[in-house]
Chain A
């Protein structure tokens, strides 16, 4: 029993292992004991074997993951990244800066001419158009608005005749209203029961016209 109590503790054994690995001075008492006690030597060997096994496993794993080619590639990548270190960011000059020299006025003249020509063309076009087709320009605003309204209806797929309405400039607003009334009636014809509440909520052109009259 006395002999057993003299055995080295686990932490003493581990200290011996650490000292051997790091080259430190081992505890002389532990070393003396290890020299005499086979049981502690066996335990010490177990510690060493365990540590070596874990280390070998880690080394093998790292070697498998990072073979020599990958190490080389990584080195190259690191060196490539280092090329940008301590190098101030390159500022790309804005193109406008170069035009400070004599070429500036030449470079700027072209867009100005273009803008002036476009404006002149627009003005002439409007003036000539007004001269040759004055009714388009002098139509009253109300009439214009009324003429525009069928255009919205025109987009409805169920009203192909809307094209006819917009295509004839001689028609009056009364005709437009009549057309809309017709359209509404035509749309109301199926009388789907589920849609009736929505229909009741929607203002109708005919009602508005009736109110105005």
Chain B
């Protein structure tokens, strides 16, 4: 759970201590300011539009950002929450929050990092509140979730046996990821499902980059062990 606190403590508009623009080095490699990506440039543009009061135009541009990050965001949120409705809400909330606070966005961070951190914080909040709920209430019917997956998956996989096996594999993988230590899980999620580099994960979580690498390696080793592969 300590990773949760790390992510939580870092404010979205606050540049991390190890941001590339400060010219710090990590592991011997110089951290030069990366060239601005498309989404970062777009985010800066939206911020300027919002500051100028052109809200309609800002919203139009923001739609591009949504389509750029939507799939990735859903992948992260769904793997984190294991519930499509909740993942849907988490992603929506993250985008709305980003737009609401676009004025506090600083280009010292790539937009993707900033956005992902907001998304992850939302997911962690939801996981926490879900755990709180499950302490008091009987959990709902999990079958509905499974059947929803099955029904939507039926279009791509015509073979029922293959579909069943794939579902079983996914279930095993999800259970294995759930068994990971909180910090390892976050690092694995961000690196593997969020397409973030260890350096970006370090910027998001405030964990040292080499520590991120160690956590990632250990997470993968554990997962392979849980899933019957090599540990």
A interface residues, Cβ below 8 angstroms from B: 10-11, 14-15, 18, 22, 24, 46-47, 50-51, 54-55, 57-67, 70-71, 74-75, 77-79, 81-83, 85-87
Contact = CB atoms under 8 A, between A and B. Distances in A.
Nearest to B230: A46
Interface residues of B, number: 47
B71 A61 contact: no
Given A58-B75, A81-B92, 12 more contacts: A18-B216, A22-B197, A58-B173, A60-B153, A65-B78, A66-B71, A66-B78, A66-B88, A67-B155, A79-B62, A82-B62, A86-B50
Nearest to B199: A22
Given A11-B217, A74-B70, A65 B84 contact: yes
B70 A71 contact: yes
A66 B100 contact: no
B156 A63 contact: yes
Contact of B66 (A14, A57, A59, A78): A78
B166 A57 contact: yes
Interface stretch (B2-10, B122-130, B133-141, B219-227): B219-227
Contacts of A22: 197-198
Given A50-B224, A57-B170, A75 B70 contact: yes
B66 A61 contact: no
B113 to A, nearest CB: 14
A85 B99 contact: yes
28 contacts: A11-B217, A14-B220, A15-B213, A15-B217, A18-B216, A22-B198, A51-B220, A54-B192, A57-B169, A58-B79, A62-B71, A62-B75, A62-B79, A64-B152, A64-B153, A65-B74, A65-B87, A65-B152, A66-B84, A74-B92, A75-B66, A77-B92, A81-B92, A82-B99, A83-B59, A85-B99, A86-B50, A86-B55
